[in-house]
Amino acid sequence: MFCTQSKGSIIVKKLVAFLTALCAMCSTSAWSANSPSVEKKADLVERTIYRRAVEAVMWGMPAVNYERMLQAASDNGAKLNQVVYWSRPVNWKNQTLTPNPDTIYLNPFYDTKNGPIVVEIPPADAGHVIVGSFDVAWQNALADVGPAGMDKGKGAKYLITPPGYKDKAPDGYIVLPSETYRGFVILRSNFKSRSDVDIKSAVDHGKRVKVYPLGGNPDATVFVDAYDQPFDATIPYDASFFELLNRFVQQEPWLTRDKVMIDTLKTLGIEKGKPFKPDAKTKAILSKAAQEAHAVIDVKYEGGFVPPFFERTHWSVPVPPETRDGLGNNFADPNEYGLDGRAVMYHMAYFSAKVLGAGQFYLINIVDRAGKPLQGKNTYRLRVPPNAPIEQYWSVTAYDRGTHALIKGVSRPSLASNDTTVQKNADGSTDIYFGPTAPAGKQSNWVPTDAKRQFELLFRLYGPKKEFAEKTWVLPDVEQLR
């Protein structure tokens, strides 16, 4: 059989002959003619950086959001495992994303690199309650706090453990395994009214919160007051976005679901354990990419108000269900990530609740009844119907449409049902006015706007009742008066 030429060997010989002829055609000069030029190669590299940078912004938004808040806390003298708080309701100098100006904020920023951290929450009483959520640095919720949270309003010792922690926790703790070393707790100590006495009482109750290492001294908790101080956590859409993203990558472990981004970030010069030193040209590309990502996110944000929460209105929660659910269940659905929706959420807000709608609910609006963007130069009215289905209070806040932070320079950014100076109508409804000047006789019910900028509204309900979910109570649209 060795002397017989098989059919298979003939095919192989023909294939070899074909490839030999093909190689002859592909001489060095012919191949070089089809090879990209040096200029073309450089252009391809720059375009790759640009494309991947846009995707990095979309993916890294909650991480950079966190780093911005942590930096603002540090600039105010706070350290990790301390409590940043505001001794009065926040004013416009607090430039976090869509904060609530009708409560007392306490924000512990935790770090578990040296071991578990304890956060003690005091029990609610007849006049005080603390509500909020524990979030990892990616801002996925670990647990809610308060009557609708894991402690049911009875107070508790929460124990945050670091990634990979294997030791058995002592008895008496609610254990929260964190997928990141760092994170934060957003706590709100609510007050009955805006009187000085009630606000101080809410602050005193809030300062019963304790933060300390496991086995440490609860009374060693450090509180840093940031009231009336610059606290800028708005998102920078330039090359500095990637500096913040690099800071996060250097500090936190890679999660399995995000490993696809390792090579993407290497393209940009971000690699764990290595310095991030982009040259001037790369910085220019990164800045341009960040601006495009911002534009893409804004388009998605504007498109997220359909369908509305209430029929025939423009009030909505512009974050898709897969994102809202994923933030609470750690993206348990193997076929969903909700990454684009996550970018939308954290470009205009911070923190996520474990169960949205249990302790609080949020509705956003960027247009009036006619569907036109809310302009700071115009005057609008929002009529809040009587008997709002809430256990605690409602509030409505005006934010700068461009930054999603409080409008700079205003004397009052919001109004709420716990403000006893707000006038009610005879039927129990409440008219809230928005505009550059107060309508005659309506000063107590007026929220000022910047005549040169657009704005947006966020309506909060704390302790929403079933009537809200059933939509038997409906919040109408904003009406332009002039």
The residue ranges of every structural domain in the chain are 77-229, 359-480
Q: DSSP assignment of 49-97, as one string?
A: HHHHHHHHHHHHHHHHHHHHHHHHHHHTT--TTEEEE-SSS--TTEESS
Ranking 6-10, 134-138, 192-196 by mean pLDDT, the lowest is: 6-10
Ranking 157-171, 249-263, 344-358 by mean pLDDT, the lowest is: 344-358
On the question of a cis peptide bond just before residue 307, with omega within 30 degrees of 0, the verdict is: yes
Which strand (E) or helix (H) includes residue 248? helix 240-251
| CATH homologous superfamily for the domain 77-229 | Domain of unknown function DUF1254 (2.60.40.1610)
Bridge-partner residues for 134, per DSSP? 143, 185
* Residue 256 burial class via C-beta count within 10 angstroms: exposed 0-12, middle 13-18, buried 19 and up: exposed
* Residue 157 burial class via C-beta count within 10 angstroms: exposed 0-12, middle 13-18, buried 19 and up: middle
Instruction: Confirm if 480 and 439 have CB atoms less than 8 A apart.
Output: no
Instruction: List phi, psi (to 5°) of 469.
Output: -65, -35
Instruction: Confirm if 145 and 130 have CB atoms less than 8 A apart.
Output: yes
Residue tagged 């070899």 (tokens): 16
AA identity, residue 80: L
What angle in degrees, to the nearest 10, is found between the helix axes of 339-348 and 38-75? 50
359-480 has CATH 2.60.120.600 classification? yes
Q: How far apart are CA 352 and CA 335, in angstroms?
A: 21
What pTM did the predictor assign? 0.90
DSSP state of 424: -
- The overall average pLDDT reported for the chain is 92
SS3 297: helix
Instruction: Confirm if 274 and 321 have CB atoms less than 8 A apart.
Output: no
Q: How far apart are CA 253 and CA 251, in angstroms?
A: 7
pLDDT tens digits along 114-136: 999 999 999 999 889 999 999 99
Residue tagged 């590299």 (tokens): 45
pLDDT at 33: 54
Predicted confidence (pLDDT) at residue 461 exceeds the cutoff of 90: yes
